[in-house]
Structure 1
Amino acid sequence: MSFIAPATSAVPSTITNSPFWPDFNLATLRDAMRLDGTVTNARLEHAVINAALQVNIDLKLWRLAQQSSGHAHLEQVPAEQINGQSIYLQLYLRAVYCLTKANLIERYSDFDSTAKGLKAGEELHDSVNDLRRDARFAIRDILGESHVTVELI
Structure 2
Amino acid sequence: MNGFIVTANPPAATQEPVVSNGTWFPDMDPVKVRNACRLDGTVTADRLRPALMDAMLSVNAELQEWADEQRTRWGYACLANVPAPQMDGESAKVLYYRRAVHACLQADLAEAYRNLSTIPAGSGKADRVLEDLAIQVDQHRRNQRWAIADLLARPRCTVDLL
Deviation at 1:122, TM superposition (A): 1.1
CA distance in 2, matches of 1:17, 1:148: 29
Further displaced range: 17-26 or 7-16: 7-16
CA distance in 1, matches of 2:92, 2:31: 21
Q: Name 1:83's counterpart in structure 2.
A: 88
- Residues 5-84 of structure 1: matches in 2 within 5 Å? 5-12=6-13, 13=16, 14-68=18-72, 69-84=74-89
Deviation at 1:149, TM superposition (A): 6.4
Q: Is the 8 A contact 1:109 1:117 kept in 2?
A: no
Q: Which runs of 5+ in 2 are unaligned?
A: none
Query: In structure 1, the residue corresponding to 2:148 is in which secondary structure?
Result: helix
Q: Normalising by structure 1, what TM-score?
A: 0.90
Query: In structure 1, the residue corresponding to 2:155 is in which secondary structure?
Result: coil
Instruction: Specify the code of the residue in structure 2 equivalent to 1:120.
Output: V
Further displaced range: 62-71 or 106-115: 106-115
- Whether 1:100 and 2:105 are equivalent positions in the alignment is yes
CA distance in 2, matches of 1:81, 1:138: 16
Query: In structure 2, the residue corresponding to 1:15 is in which secondary structure?
Result: coil
After superposition, the CA RMSD in angstroms is 1.6
Deviation at 1:127, TM superposition (A): 1.1
- Percentage of identical aligned residues: 37
Runs of at least 4 residues of structure 1 off by over 4 A? Answer: none
Q: Which runs of 5+ in 1 are unaligned?
A: none
- How many residues align? The count is 150
Query: In structure 2, the residue corresponding to 1:127 is in which secondary structure?
Result: helix
Instruction: Specify the code of the residue in structure 1 equivalent to 2:139.
Output: D
